[in-house]
Amino acid sequence: MAPRVSPEKPQNRAFDLLEFPEKQKLNFATTLVMVILHLGAIAALFMFSWTNLAVALFLLWFCTGLGISMGYHRLHTHRSYQVPLPLEYLFAVCGALTFEGGPIFWVATHRIHHQKSDMPGDPHSPRDGGWWAHVGWILVGEAKHNNTRLMAKYAPDLAKHRFYVWLNDWHWLPNVLLAGLLFAIGGLPLMLWGTCLRVVIGLHATWLVNSATHMWGSRRFPTRDDSRNSWWVALITFGEGWHNNHHAHPTSARHGLAWYELDLSWIQIKILRYFGIAKRVQVAKITTPLAERDAA
């Protein structure tokens, strides 16, 4: 899964350890999966029921909310708080249920994004085009989802766990098992709502953080990248849309720093902290000084 090559500028490498070919081709396997998921999501709309909707919304929160926002992003990538290892593993399984890859792949890609945000080497910068940042970077080049050995060099803390290595290699398996369970319970309609439609909504919500919040919105902090705060992206991503706040203070478990910046994931982390489940929670404030390396 490599960045495209622009003839007007040097090749934009997402992963320093790789030498990518000069011409990038569409990744057929990844594209086929995305087409099937989107077709299934469209078909689901013709099979509406309140039960199907309720199940899809619950799974969207369970998989994308807990798995991506609280898990892959704030916990596994930035270590902004700590929870018992079994709960950490559960969040990782939730993340795998989004079809966004395994924990080692996701964490490695996001850490590279922070290191080279909106610079050559950023896997998904809108400076290479809005469509590229949203989904193009996923569809082009050689996919690295199952290259655990390579991606582990960017996430050595996760690679120490056999469970994370296994889950990264078999990241697609939880979704297959869930789809089978949903089909057994409610037939094709429930499977399409709980898998295809739910996954597609979660994917595009996450991708909007990569694209929209680096193009539109307000900037509270003068970070070196193009990150923006977007209230509407925050609403559909459990608080991830306060992206400029996040790039200014990456290790903060709280992204919505003002009282009016709704951050559902932060509310849930506070609940876990209240019951003594979440510990060593790092919290930035609006007045927290911006690190010099992050300044424009």
Q: What is the pLDDT along the chain (296 residues), one digit of tens a residue?
A: 333 333 333 334 444 443 333 346 888 989 999 999 999 999 999 999 999 999 999 999 999 999 999 999 999 999 999 999 999 999 999 999 999 999 999 999 999 999 999 999 999 999 999 999 999 999 987 667 667 788 888 999 999 999 999 999 999 999 999 999 999 999 999 999 999 999 999 999 999 999 999 999 999 999 999 999 999 999 999 999 999 999 999 999 999 999 999 999 999 999 999 999 999 999 999 988 886 444 43
Percent of the chain as helix, strand, coil, to the nearest 5 = 55, 5, 40
Calculate ∠ Cα 167-266-51, nearest 5°: 65
* C-alpha pair distances (Å), 127 with each of 203, 232, 282, 289: 21, 22, 31, 27
Who's near 174: CB < 8 A, 6+ residues apart? Answer: 93, 96, 97
The span from the first CA to the last CA of the chain, in angstroms, equals 29
- Work out the number of other CB atoms within 10 angstroms of the CB of residue 30: 17
Q: Name residue 279's beta-bridge partners.
A: 82
pLDDT, position 290: 80
d(CA 254, CA 249): 9
pLDDT, position 84: 98
d(CA 140, CA 20): 12
Contact between 71 and 86 under an 8 Å Cβ cutoff? The reply is: no
pLDDT, position 3: 36
pTM of the shown model = 0.89
d(CA 149, CA 91): 22
Contact between 133 and 214 under an 8 Å Cβ cutoff? The reply is: yes
Backbone angles phi, psi at 27, to 5 degrees: -80, 110
What does R_g of the chain's alpha carbons equal in angstroms?
Answer: 19
Who's near 149: CB < 8 A, 6+ residues apart? Answer: none
Domain positions in the chain:
28-219
pLDDT, position 144: 72
Look at the block and give the residue holding tokens 């499977």: 191
**Residue of 92, 243, 245 lying closest to 162 (CA atoms):** 92
